[in-house]
Structures are given as C-alpha cells and as structure tokens.
Amino acid sequence: MKWYHYIAGFFAGAFLTNMVPHLVNGISGNAFPTPFANPPGHGLSSPLTNVLWALFNLLAGYFLFRVSKINSKSKLGLFLFFAGVILISILSSIAFMDKAK
C-alpha cells in the first residue's frame, strides 16, 4: 500500500465514527452541536442538520475507506483505521462533555 492509503484509512475511521452521534441525535429528534451551529461546535443544531451532517460523514468515510484499500492483510492499515476511530471517540467525548449541563 502507498502512504496515502494509510492516511485515507485513518480519516475513514474518524469520519465514520463522527457520523454516529450526529445520526443518533438527529433521528432521535435531539439538537446536537455541529460545525454549523453558533458558535461552531458548541451551539446546538437542529435534528435535520445533524442527520445531513451524519450522512456527509458517512459518504466521506466510505469514500476514504475505499481509497485506503484497507483489508485484513494490512495490519498497519487496520491499526491506523482504528486509531482514527479511537482518536475521534476520545476527542468527541471531551468536546461534548459539557453538552448535558
């Protein structure tokens, strides 16, 4: 695999993971922060905005996953994919910690 396949795999994990909270909140009818809120990332966006943002993340993640050519034989590719999942999960948990308050 070429170097850019690994980078695409990392960001595929990040985009696909970022899709989850936006889709869950959007289809549940809950307002949730998006980059389009005021202030960006801290204010709340409508459920529809969250569903649309989730679908964008799904498409971007899918495209990057296909570009990455990740498979079970590429241990480094899988590691970087899951590193993207782990990193965005931790960063999201920190960023949205105050949302419930």
Is 45 strand, coil or helix?
strand
Rounded Cα gap, residues 4 and 10, in angstroms: 10
Statement: residue 101 has pLDDT above 70:
no
Q: Which amino acid is at 67?
A: V
Averaged pLDDT, 81-86: 97
Query: pTM of this prediction?
Result: 0.89
Residue 9 has pLDDT above 70, yes or no: yes
CA 83 to chain centre: 12
Confidence of residue 34 (pLDDT cuts 50, 70, 90): very high
Q: Are 99 and 50 in contact (CB under 8 A)?
A: no
Residue 32: DSSP 8-state? B
Read off the amino acid at residue 52: L
Specify the pLDDT at position 81. 96
